[in-house]
A and B are shown apart, each in its own frame.
Chain A
Amino acid sequence: MTPPSPSQALGGSLLAAAAVAAALVPSFAGDYVVGNLGFRMLEYAALAQAWNLLAGYGGLVALGSGAFIGIGMYGTAKLTLGAGFPLIPALLVGGALAALFALIVSPALFRLRGLYFVIATLVLAEALQIWMFNWNGLGGSDGLFMTNAAPSPSERYYLALAIVAATTLLLAIILRTRLGISLRAIRDNEDAAAQMGLWTFRTKLWAFMIMAFVMGVIGGLQADYLGKIEPGGAFSLQWTVDIVTIAIIGGMGTLWGPLVGSLFVIWLGERLANHPETHVAITGAILILVIRFAPYGIWGLLIRLKDEASGRRRRSRLA
């Protein structure tokens, strides 16, 4: 079964249209929708898109998102506070630190395959959190306060939009190049891929570092938005849970899935904000239904409906 996708040209213009539509939102929506709801949707879209590269296309399910987001948060916070970096360079360096961390842990992680890899990434984020709680170098369990001026709602909205657009564009390019082919080959059969001359370690490392970079950048943006960071939130497992939920509900292994998923899941959370238990229960039920009946998520369902509709049209025209 191949992932559903509209034709390339259609896909490209649809993505461009979506980007333009998203860019127009601040011109009519209020501060809350732009600076909070929309901002969160974009943040999660970028995070889920980055995770999608490794899990959806490379078949490597990493549950340690908190580690990279947390490193981006602390990196950006420290750079803007202490070193007086402007925000955008600080975000990029924060992302680079997360990618560097990915590089350092990769020799150990990539020795492991399948479930062992999954568990190791999970443990990694948890261990980092515990360490940050107990090490006073970066504020310990109190964390850090950001004293610099926070960007306006529309500023951070556009920053997040730029990151989503850049990540999605990067994925679209990667998927058409050799890195995309090698990632999918590793997902389908890592041993056979090695026998074809592919140094699988390097391919996995590239994807892993790209994911870590994007997560680090988003972490930095989030730190700037919050104004205060502490290990409990920064390295939280909740990041991973939300990212995985969004990617699966939206559609793993598709370019649109994480975008659609983030829109839907965050919107649902907003509607049910006053009923947290109901929210969790409904999200869980949707997750189960999607996994059982829609392997490519909401996006896959939309494509299937569209195909069936056009198939019906074609048939009725023939008849």
Chain B
Amino acid sequence: MSAAAPAASPGALLEAVGLSKHFGGVLAVDSVDLELRAGETLGVIGPNGAGKSTLIGLLSGALKPTAGDVFVDGRRVTGLPPHRLARLGVARTYQIPQPFARMSVLDNLMLGRLYGAREGFLKARRECLEIIDRTGLAEFADVPAGSLGLLRLKRLELARAVALRPRILLLDEIGAGLVESELLELIELITVLRREVESVLIVEHVIDLIRACSDRVLVLDWGKKLIEGDPDEVLRDEKVTAVYLGTGTRQDLRRKAAGAAKRDAQPLVSVRGVAARYGTFKALHDVTFDVYPGEIVTLLGANGAGKTTTARVLSGMIPASAGEVRFRDERIDGRKPHEIVRLGIAHCMEGRRIFTDLSAEENLLLGGRTAPSAEERRRRLADVNELFPILHEKRNDSGGSLSGGQQQMLAIGRALMADPTFVIFDEISLGLAPIAVDALYEAIAALHERGVSMLLIEQNVERGLALADRAYVLEKGVVALSGAPAEIRSDPRLRALYVGEAKGDT
């Protein structure tokens, strides 16, 4: 760094100069210069591990930079605690919603209005109710935030940030985990709320959201600024395509062995009229489908359609309240999860659920507990390492220190250590950059060639259909549509069910 103190440039509402952040030996953000002008929306994109969330943390005061400075309205705010920055008008949302779970939605917002915006109690209450109304949460004002579903939690994140009456809004992956119709809803909401703040910075994987909302786009890669400029130009740029979207292995991914499934044989997994409930809430009403040996079956559906619940019933995590599940013609509903694993069914859960304090290899070995001998366990470990060489390379690193994509590989590897004949993959692409998802799907194709049957649960329709032999679409706990990928893709009902009616012309 130069000896002269860096100065804020005029016209920038939020500015970062030479901002860097180390975590141990890892340089998460590497001398980034960034300028958020008054009145503009800046999109920040980049692959997983590019340092996007770290950047939000640095700008909001949650993290202290190793080097560099942050200015708000020309005033140096480097190292100020988060509450001071909030009072200067910097609000953020969290990638994974962090609600005050046991407080009502209204009280969640009240905090920001009372402390961030320094408003009196009664006025704050009135204004918070207005914000709740505008963000479509009116009927949930008195409901504990912890009981909301993902889409509503994302809305709450936005509402809570706006309750601060901020000048600058930092949005961290607000679109992650949402299906397209929900995204459109969210884009609309952002457009409405946009008028209440001076400037917005959006960190996002969902390109549609970036394209719809931002005036300028900045691309981060390995903690460095790669390029910055007009959204269309940036997204067309070849460097960006290479770094962010991957080099297009999508075509190679189409399986060579398509149609190899033995459909005439007995189904490997047979689900008949299954229902399931959480307390009084009935998540599944009547789900029926089969998976034949050697098949890849994809389960599609919007958030809350019952995909994850179906997976949980299959692996015995929750009981079926009606219907039956058979594996190799043997009733398995009602069995305990560990018994089901021993039968050869592995469940790669949504949200990775890796053991963050254990090393990568320890994570894998724990997944191999069912192996009959140490020798067999080592063989399985070698198999997994062959599939994901990076896991071998990082075998002594703690699970928590791996990047998002590597963590997902670890979760998959751990499921494979049980040497399953049938694997359930629940939302493995969630929150990952396209290039990381490509790598995962390559591994899944390779796995399939080894003869493993699987159930893929995906929110991304194209990803889910690319590999599938057959697909089922769930809607509100029942199978609404089923068939071969080509039929599903061209079925007009799919758009109505899944993509939402709002999207007119694409």
| Contact among A177, A184, A199 with B103 in the assembled complex (CB-CB below 8 Å) | A184
Contact B102 A198 (CB under 8 A): no
Q: How far is the CA of A192 from the CA of B115 in the complex (A)?
A: 13
Q: Which residues of chain A have C-beta atoms less than 8 A from B61's C-beta?
A: 195
Contact B164 A197 (CB under 8 A): yes
Q: How far is the CA of A172 from the CA of B102 in the complex (A)?
A: 18
| Contact among B102, B111, B116 with A1 in the assembled complex (CB-CB below 8 Å) | B102
Q: How far is the CA of A300 from the CA of B1 in the complex (A)?
A: 60
Contact B115 A197 (CB under 8 A): yes
| Contact among B86, B94, B163 with A194 in the assembled complex (CB-CB below 8 Å) | B86
| Contact among A2, A196, A197, A200 with B144 in the assembled complex (CB-CB below 8 Å) | A2
Min CB gap B493→A, angstroms: 39
A31: interface (CB < 8 Å) = no
Contact A194 B144 (CB under 8 A): no
Q: Which residues of chain B have C-beta atoms less than 8 A from A197's C-beta?
A: 83, 86-87, 111-112, 115-117, 164
Contact A200 B107, CB 8 Å, known A181-B114, A195-B92:
no
Q: Which residues of chain B have C-beta atoms less than 8 A from A3's C-beta?
A: 102
Contact B144 A181 (CB under 8 A): no
Q: Which residues of chain B have C-beta atoms less than 8 A from A182's C-beta?
A: 111, 114-115
Q: Which residues of chain A have C-beta atoms less than 8 A from B160's C-beta?
A: 196
Q: Which residues of chain B have C-beta atoms less than 8 A from A178's C-beta?
A: 110, 114-115, 121
Count of chain A residues near B, Cβ 8 A = 22
Q: How far is the CA of A1 from the CA of B104 in the complex (A)?
A: 10
A189: interface (CB < 8 Å) = yes
Q: Which residues of chain B have C-beta atoms less than 8 A from A187's C-beta?
A: 102
Q: How far is the CA of A184 from the CA of B111 in the complex (A)?
A: 10
Q: How far is the CA of A181 from the CA of B160 in the complex (A)?
A: 14
Contact A188 B112, CB 8 Å, known A181-B107, A194-B82, A197-B86:
no
- Contact mask B94-116 → A, CB, 8 Å, 1/0? 10001111111001101110111
B261: interface (CB < 8 Å) = no
B60: interface (CB < 8 Å) = yes
B12: interface (CB < 8 Å) = no
Min CB gap B305→A, angstroms: 26
Contact A184 B107, CB 8 Å, known A2-B144, A178-B114:
yes
Closest to B98 in A: A192
Q: Which residues of chain A have C-beta atoms less than 8 A from B82's C-beta?
A: 191, 194-195
Q: How far is the CA of A312 from the CA of B111 in the complex (A)?
A: 37
Contact B60 A196 (CB under 8 A): no
Q: Which residues of chain B have C-beta atoms less than 8 A from A181's C-beta?
A: 103, 107, 110-111, 114
| Contact among B83, B101, B121, B144 with A177 in the assembled complex (CB-CB below 8 Å) | B121
Min CB gap A59→B, angstroms: 10
- Contact mask A15-59 → B, CB, 8 Å, 1/0? 000000000000000000000000000000000000000000000
Q: Which residues of chain B have C-beta atoms less than 8 A from A199's C-beta?
A: 81, 83, 115
Min CB gap A240→B, angstroms: 25
Closest to B81 in A: A194
From residue 1 to 15 of chain A, which have CB atoms closer than 8 A to chain B?
1-3
Closest to B143 in A: A2
Closest to B114 in A: A178
Closest to A189 in B: B98
Q: Which residues of chain B have C-beta atoms less than 8 A from A200's C-beta?
A: 83
Q: How far is the CA of A181 from the CA of B116 in the complex (A)?
A: 13
Contact A185 B144, CB 8 Å, known A195-B91, A196-B112:
no
Min CB gap A296→B, angstroms: 11
Contact B81 A188 (CB under 8 A): no
Contact A189 B81 (CB under 8 A): no
Contact B62 A195 (CB under 8 A): yes
Contact A189 B99 (CB under 8 A): yes
Closest to A198 in B: B115
From residue 167 to 222 of chain A, which have CB atoms closer than 8 A to chain B?
177-178, 181-182, 184-185, 187-189, 191-200
- Contact mask B105-145 → A, CB, 8 Å, 1/0? 00110111011110001000000000000000000000010
**Chain A CB within 10 Å, residue with most, of B86, B104, B164:** B86
Closest to B146 in A: A1
Q: How far is the CA of A52 from the CA of B101 in the complex (A)?
A: 19
Q: How far is the CA of A178 from the CA of B101 in the complex (A)?
A: 17
Q: How far is the CA of A184 from the CA of B112 in the complex (A)?
A: 13
Min CB gap B159→A, angstroms: 12
Q: How far is the CA of A185 from the CA of B91 in the complex (A)?
A: 16
- Contact mask B162-181 → A, CB, 8 Å, 1/0? 01100000000000000000
Contact A193 B144 (CB under 8 A): no
| Contact among A177, A191, A196 with B111 in the assembled complex (CB-CB below 8 Å) | A196
Q: How far is the CA of A1 from the CA of B102 in the complex (A)?
A: 6
Q: How far is the CA of A189 from the CA of B92 in the complex (A)?
A: 15
Contact B98 A191 (CB under 8 A): yes
Contact A2 B102 (CB under 8 A): yes
Q: Which residues of chain B have C-beta atoms less than 8 A from A198's C-beta?
A: 83, 86, 111, 115-116
Min CB gap B108→A, angstroms: 8
Min CB gap A224→B, angstroms: 39
Closest to A176 in B: B121
**Chain B CB within 10 Å, residue with most, of A184, A191, A194, A195:** A195
**Chain B CB within 10 Å, residue with most, of A3, A177, A196:** A196
| Contact among A1, A177, A189, A194 with B100 in the assembled complex (CB-CB below 8 Å) | A189
Closest to B108 in A: A185
Contact A196 B103 (CB under 8 A): no
Contact A192 B94 (CB under 8 A): yes
Contact A188 B121 (CB under 8 A): no
Min CB gap B311→A, angstroms: 25
Q: Beyond A195-B60, A198-B86, list 16 extra A-B contacts (CB 8 Å).
A: A181-B110, A181-B111, A188-B100, A188-B103, A191-B82, A191-B98, A192-B94, A193-B100, A194-B83, A195-B61, A196-B112, A196-B160, A198-B111, A198-B115, A199-B81, A200-B83
Q: Could you list some 7 contacts between A and B, CB below 8 A?
A: A2-B104, A177-B121, A178-B114, A182-B114, A189-B100, A192-B100, A196-B83
Top 3 nearest A-B pairs by Cβ distance? Answer: A197-B116, A197-B86, A188-B100
